[in-house]
Structure 1
Amino acid sequence: MRCTEVRMSSYPDGDVGPAHFGLADVELPAPRPGEVLVRNTWTSVDPGLRLRMRRHAPAGYFAAFPLDAPLDGVLTVGEVLESRADGFAAGDTVWHPFGWRTHAVVDASATYMNGAGSLRVLDTASTPASWYLGPLGAIGLTAWAGLHVVGALGGGERVWVSAAGGAVGSLVAQVAVLLGHRVVASAGSAEKVAWLRDEVGVEAAFDYREEPPAQALARLAPEGLDVYFDNVGGDHLEAALDAMRPHGRIALCGSVSDYESEPRGPRNLFLATAKHLTLAGFRGSLHLDLLDDMQRRLGGWLRDGVVAHRQSVYEGLSQAPVALQDMLAGRTTGKTLVRL
C-alpha cells in the first residue's frame, strides 16, 4: 500500500507556510495482528500544531515534530480498509492520531495522546464524520473541559471568550450562551463579530484588530468579568486580568498570539494575587472522563440545530500547510479541516 505523507522540511523562525513542508510517497507495511489499515478521509488542522513546529516544543507538551518524518498526534478520521484487530472491521469509520497522510497502520490497543487519539469506532449514522474532528472530538472536549475546570457550567455569570470565531472559541461562546451566561466575545474580523452577535446571541462582541481588548472590555463590560476563556494570551490575558472581578476564574486554553513570535506575557500578573483569582491551565486530553457527557449534550444541540458548527474545508492533502497558515493568520472560521 502506497501512502503520501506531509513532512516538515525545516523549522520556521516566524510565520509557518508551505515552504516548510514537503510530500513523501512511501510504502506502508501490511497490518500485523492487533493493527488496522485506515484510509484517511478528513484530517485536522489545529493551532497547537504550531507549538510542535518549533525546534523545541514547550516543556510538558507533546514533543516537537522531527524533520523529514511523518507527523504524529494529528487527529484524523478515516475508513478501515483491513483489520487484524478485534472490535474493528473493514468499512468502520474511526478516529486516530496519524493525520496529514493518506493512509495509516494503527495499533488498536495503543494509547495515543493521553487516550484522546486512541483508535475508536465512530457512529456516523446520524452524525457527519467531520464532526468528530470538531465539536464531538478533541475540540469539543477542550471547550467543555475549559468551562468545567473554572466551574462555569452553571451559567448566570459574565464571561469573555477570546478567539470566539475559531474552532474552540466558537463552541465555548455558544455553549456559554446556552448555559445562561452573559457573554462578551472577541474575534478578528467584522464578519465573525457579526455572526457572534447576530446568530450566536452573545450580549456583546468586538473586533480586537479594530479596538484594543482593554478598551473594548471597559466599554462592554464595565462591571467586570467573572470568567475569561483564554485562547490568545498576550494583551488579551493582560486585559482580562485588569477586568476580572475579585475571585474571578480564567481558563488558560491557548496562547495563539505567541505561537509565531516571542512570548508577550501579561505585565499585570500580580492582579491574580490582589484579586484572589484562579488561573487554571488545562488540556482537553486530560479530561477524557467528560467526553461521553460532552458528546451527549453537545451532540443533541448540534443535531437540533441549536449549536452551529462552522468549518473551513481545504481540499487535498497538499493543502494542509496552506490551511495551517491561513488559520494562524485568522483567515479561517470555525474548525479548519482538510478533506482527503
Structure 2
Amino acid sequence: MIKFLDLHKINARFDSQFKKEFQQFLDSGYYVLGSGTTAFENNYAKYCGTKHCVGVSNGLDALILIFKAYIQIGKLNVGDEVIVPANTYIASIISIIQAGLKPVFVEPNSATFNCEASTIKKYITSKTKAILTVHLYGQLADSEVISLLAQEHGLLLIEDAAQAHGAENVLGKRAGNLSNAAAFSFYPSKNLGALGEAGAVTTNDDELAKVVSELRNYGSVRKYENVRLGVNNRIDELQARILNIKLQHLDADNDKRRDIAKRYLSKIINKKITLPFYDGSKNHSFHLFVVLVDNRDDFINYLLKNDIQSSIHYPKPPHKQEALQQFLDLQLPITDYIHRNCVSLPISPVLTETEVIKVIKTVNAF
C-alpha cells in the first residue's frame, strides 16, 4: 500500500537526532520557553527573512494572536471586516471570528485555487481593514500585487502560511515575509512538521512581535508581571527542539516534493483528471498535490483497490459547515466545485521512485 503520507518514515530519518535532543531537553531541567524555543525562533526568523518569529501553540492560535494583537495595538477594531478566501481550511475563518472580526468570503481562481487581487478589490469597502491571504496547498498567493492593493487602501495584509513553509516568490522572499504578519502551523503532516502541535508568528513589525509574545504567555512581560489579558499559547519547548532539527532539511524536502510534482504534471495524461497549476518555480512547496475529478468517490475507491491511499482537502467548504450557519446562503460556485471534486494524491519526500511510477500509471489508467 502506498500511504498518502507516511509520517513514521518521514520522521525515522531523524531518529538518532531526536533521541539525542530529547536527552538534552530532559537533562536541561528547563521545559517551557527554554533555549530550544529561542534557538528555533531565531533560526526560523532567519530562514523566512523576517526580524521576528514568535513560537506559539498551533497555527490557529497564531492567526488569532495576530488579529488580537492588532486590536490591542489599535490597528484593528472589533467588528472590522477581513477579506479571506472562501476556499480554505476552516481555521482561517475561525481565527477571524474568534478575534471579534467579520470574515468576507472571496472566490478563488479556479486554476490556482488562490484569490487574485482583481477579485479581492471588488470586496473592499469602508469597513474592510485587513486581507488574509492563504497560500493554499503550498502555492503562494500573488502577494506582491495583493500587497500593493492593501497599501493602496490602507489595509493590513496577513498570511495564512500554514501550508507553505519554504515557498519563495520570484524575488526569493519566502512565505512568512510577504505581509505585515504571517501565521504558520507545524502540525505533524506539514512540510515542516513537529511531533505534536506547534505554530509560529513571523513579522518585521517590532510592536506586533512584542504584543504577540506577551499575549501568548499570560500577557506578561516578565514572570508575574502581566500587562495584558493574555492566554497560554506558548510553543512546546520539546517541539521547538524537534523543529530546529527538521528545519535544516526543509529545503531539500521541498525540492523532492517539487520533483515529484513535476513528474506528475508531465506524465499524468488523463482527460478525466484536472491537474493543478504550477509555473515550475519555488513558489509552490507542494504540501499537497490536488487534482480535480468529477466522479471523486469512484476515483478514490479505484486508487484504494490499486493499493494507493489518497485524501480530500477539503470535502466541505467553511461556509457550508454547521458551525458557520450564518454563511450557508452564500453563493460560491467555484469554491463549491473545488471542494466537491478535489482529491489529494500522495506526495512526500519519502516516496520512492517505484511508488511515483505506480501512482502515475494507475491514475492514467483510470
TM-score bracket for this pair, using the shorter chain length: 0.3 to 0.5
Would you tell me which structure has more strand in proportion to its own residues?
A: 1
Give the TM-score normalised by the residue count of structure 1: 0.36
> Which has the higher relative contact order, 1 or 2, with Cα contacts under 8 A spaced 6 or more apart?
2
Would you tell me which structure has more helix in proportion to its own residues?
A: 2
Give the TM-score normalised by the residue count of structure 2: 0.34
